[in-house]
Structure 1
C-alpha cells in the first residue's frame, strides 16, 4: 500500500496522532494538502517551534517557542469542522512529561472528533507510554516516476536540451530528495556543463551525503576484474550476474541477488573483490565500518544499524561492503554488553534474509570459524567463497598484473615463473609487497629493479600463512565438506 493510501486510511479512520518520518517537509506538506483538500475538505494548520502556527490567518504566530501551547490551541477550535494539524520537529519535545500527559489527554477528549494531528519527524523517537496513542508512517523518497517527471519539468523550464536518457538519470537519482535533485540541476546550470556531467555531480553529492552519516564511507573503486589474479570461480560467478539488477532481469523473474560472504586470511583479495564487484556491476560502493556501529549510549548501536540499512536501501541499487565482519560478531568472544551485539546481529541477519531492495551485501571475514552459525545459514548470502592462498598459476598472474602496472613496457624481462616458485604460501598482497620492497631498494641505489631484487625481498618476508596455518587448514576442510565454496578452480 502506498503512503497516500495509508494516510487516507488513517485520516478517514479518525486516528488522532499520526507520526510521519521524513526529512522532506515541503514535499510532505504538499502531499498532505493534496490529500486533505481533495478527499476530506479539512482545514489545515501548520506549526513549527520558531514561527508558531503559520498557515491560518486567524492564528498567525500563535504558540511560538511553546510546543505545549501548540497542543492546547487544538482544544480551543470548533469541533464541528474537520481539521488537520501539521506539527514540525515535534519529536524533539515529545519526551517532555507535560507533552506526554497532554497527548494522552487529547487522545481521550478528541477521540470522536474529526481532527488529525500529524507529527513530522526526521527520526523515530516515540516514548513507550505513547505507543498506543500514535500511529507511525514513513514518507518514502520520490520514486523513479516522480523523479523522471520532475527532471523533465526542470529541463523544460530551464530550457536544457538533454543528451542523456532521463530514465537512467532518474535511476541514478534514486534515494535523493526532490530538493536535492533541484539543487543538482541548479549546480549543473551554474557549471555550464553538458547534461551528461550530472552523473559526476550525483556521485559527488552521494559521497558527501554518505560521509555525513559517520558509519558509512563512499568508495570510488578503479579496479577492474582483470586486476584479480586467479579466483576463477568467483569471477565467473560475478560475470554471470553482471546484469542481475537490470529491468530485463526483473522482467525475466530473476530474484534480486542478496550478497556474498568472502572468507580467507588477510591479503588474499577479499577487499579487492568487493571493490571489483561494484566496479564491474557499475554500482556505487558503500563501506561499513562495523566498529562505528557500536556506541556507548544505550540504544545507539541498534539505531546505527537501522540507519545503515535505511541509507543503503534509499540509495539502492548499490553494493554494501561490510569489512571484517568477524571482528564485530565473534561467537568465540564472550560479550559483556548487555546483549547489544546480539540485538545488532539479529537486526542485520533478519534484514539479510528478508530484504527486497537492490542492496548487494559483500561481507569479508578473516576467520569463518569465529562467525555465528546463524550467519552461515543458507539464505543469508547467495554464496560463501573461500579465498585460499594462490596456487602457482595464480601467483604467476598476480606477479604479471603488478609488474605490468609499474613496468608496462618491460614486465616480460622479469623471471615470473621463478619468482612464482619462490612464493609458495605467499598471499597476493605479500607478492605485491615483495615487488614494492624491491623497487624501494633499487630506487635507493639509483637504478631500475630486477628479478634478483624481488628474490632478495621475498627472502625477507615471512608469510602470514605460517602463523595462520590452522585457520587455512580449517577453511580448506570446510571447502572439501562443501560448507563453503572455493573461489579458485
Structure 2
C-alpha cells in the first residue's frame, strides 16, 4: 500500500499573485539545498483558508527547487512506513492538513540526517489555530507563513490571468470592476466563477455574465467570518505574511 502520492509541479511563481515575502526567503535556498549543507532549512508551514493558494505554493516551490512533490494525507499510516517510502533523491514532502500523528513523523525525520539533506518538508493547513501546539512549535519549521485573502490589486491580476487561461481576452473586461465585486473571494473561488461561465456559454462570456456569476456565489469568508478572524488572529501572533 502506497502512502505517498506523486504530484505534478508544473506551476511557477510567475503564474501566481503575491508571495513576494516568501520568495525573499525561498529564492536563496536553491543553491543551499543543492549543496547538501546540514544547516540548510528543513521545512516550512503554510497556513490559509481553503482556496488561497497553498497547494499552488507547494508546487511552485518544488518547481523552483527542481524537486519532485510527494503528497501525504495524514491518516492511519505509521511514521516509519512514510519514511520507508521516501525516495533516495531530493524531494519535497507535502503534508496536507496535518494531525497529531505528524508530530511523530517530524520527530523521526529529525533523527535521520541523511533524510534531512534530501527532503524538504512543506506543511499546509486551513485550520492553523486548531493544530496541536507541539506541531506548530516543531523545530522542523524554519519559517511559518500565512496566505491571506487577495487584495483589490491581486484580485484584478487574478481575473486577467484566469480569463486568459480559459482562452478569453482579458482586455474585453474591466478587471478592477470584477475585483471590486469579488471582495472576500479566494483565488480558488475566482477560478470557479471563470470556469463556470466559460462552461455555460458556447461563445466567450461577456462581462455581465461574469458579474452575474460573482453575485450568485457567496464566498466562504463571507459565510464564516468567525473562522477568518480566528485564522488572522493566529497569523498575527505566529506567522509572517506570505
TM-score > 0.5 by shorter chain? yes
Aligned-partner Cα distance in 2 for 1:436–1:379: 41
**1:485 has 2:240 as partner:** yes
**1:243 has 2:57 as partner:** no
**1:307 has 2:91 as partner:** no
2:97 aligns with 324
Counterpart of 1:374 (choices 134, 141, 151) is: 134
Unaligned runs of 5+ in 2: none
Report the alpha carbon displacement of residue 348 of structure 1 after superposing the two structures with TM.
Answer: 1.4
Report the alpha carbon displacement of residue 268 of structure 1 after superposing the two structures with TM.
Answer: 0.4
Counterpart of 2:184 (choices 425, 439, 449) is: 425
Q: Is the contact made by 2:74 and 2:102 (CA closer than 8 Å) also made in structure 1?
A: no
Aligned-partner Cα distance in 2 for 1:288–1:372: 18
Report the alpha carbon displacement of residue 441 of structure 1 after superposing the two structures with TM.
Answer: 2.5
2:228 aligns with 472
Aligned-partner Cα distance in 1 for 2:225–2:112: 36
Unaligned runs of 5+ in 1: 1-212, 295-300, 330-343
Report the aligned-residue RMSD.
Answer: 1.9
Counterpart of 2:19 (choices 231, 236, 241) is: 231
Q: SS where residue 70 of structure 2 aligns?
A: strand
Q: 1:419 to 1:244 in 2, by over 3 A?
A: same
Aligned-partner Cα distance in 2 for 1:355–1:476: 35
Q: Is the contact made by 1:352 and 1:381 (CA closer than 8 Å) also made in structure 2?
A: no
Could you report, residue by residue, the CA deviation over 1:53-99 in whole angstroms, capped at 9, with x for unpaired residues?
A: xxxxxxxxxxxxxxxxxxxxxxxxxxxxxxxxxxxxxxxxxxxxxxx
1:348 aligns with 105
Q: Is the contact made by 1:224 and 1:280 (CA closer than 8 Å) also made in structure 2?
A: yes
Report the alpha carbon displacement of residue 307 of structure 1 after superposing the two structures with TM.
Answer: 1.9
Aligned-partner Cα distance in 2 for 1:392–1:474: 22
1:164 aligns with none
Report the alpha carbon displacement of residue 431 of structure 1 after superposing the two structures with TM.
Answer: 0.6
Q: Is the contact made by 1:441 and 1:453 (CA closer than 8 Å) also made in structure 2?
A: no
Report the alpha carbon displacement of residue 278 of structure 1 after superposing the two structures with TM.
Answer: 1.0
Q: Is the contact made by 2:103 and 2:135 (CA closer than 8 Å) also made in structure 1?
A: no
Aligned-partner Cα distance in 2 for 1:436–1:427: 14
Aligned-partner Cα distance in 1 for 2:240–2:110: 20
The structure with more radius of gyration: 1
Counterpart of 1:385 (choices 145, 156, 174) is: 145
After TM superposition, the structure 1 = structure 2 runs for residues 189-228 of structure 1, keeping only pairs within 5 Å, are 213-228=1-16
Q: 1:240 to 1:450 in 2, by over 3 A?
A: farther
Report the alpha carbon displacement of residue 372 of structure 1 after superposing the two structures with TM.
Answer: 0.6
2:156 aligns with 396
1:101 aligns with none
Aligned-partner Cα distance in 1 for 2:189–2:234: 25
Q: 1:352 to 1:469 in 2, by over 3 A?
A: farther
Q: SS where residue 30 of structure 2 aligns?
A: coil
Report the alpha carbon displacement of residue 428 of structure 1 after superposing the two structures with TM.
Answer: 0.4
Report the alpha carbon displacement of residue 374 of structure 1 after superposing the two structures with TM.
Answer: 0.5
Counterpart of 1:456 (choices 208, 212, 224) is: 212
After TM superposition, the structure 1 = structure 2 runs for residues 112-127 of structure 1, keeping only pairs within 5 Å, are none
Structure with higher RCO (Cα < 8 A, 6+ apart): 2
Q: SS where residue 320 of structure 1 aligns?
A: strand
Report the alpha carbon displacement of residue 220 of structure 1 after superposing the two structures with TM.
Answer: 1.7
Aligned-partner Cα distance in 2 for 1:468–1:262: 20
Q: SS where residue 362 of structure 1 aligns?
A: strand
**1:261 has 2:45 as partner:** yes
TM-score (norm 2): 0.90
TM-score (norm 1): 0.46
Q: 1:469 to 1:240 in 2, by over 3 A?
A: farther
Q: Is the contact made by 2:166 and 2:198 (CA closer than 8 Å) also made in structure 1?
A: no
Aligned residues between the structures: 239
Report the alpha carbon displacement of residue 279 of structure 1 after superposing the two structures with TM.
Answer: 1.2
**1:440 has 2:199 as partner:** yes
Deviates more, 1:366-375 or 1:219-228: 219-228
Report the alpha carbon displacement of residue 231 of structure 1 after superposing the two structures with TM.
Answer: 2.6
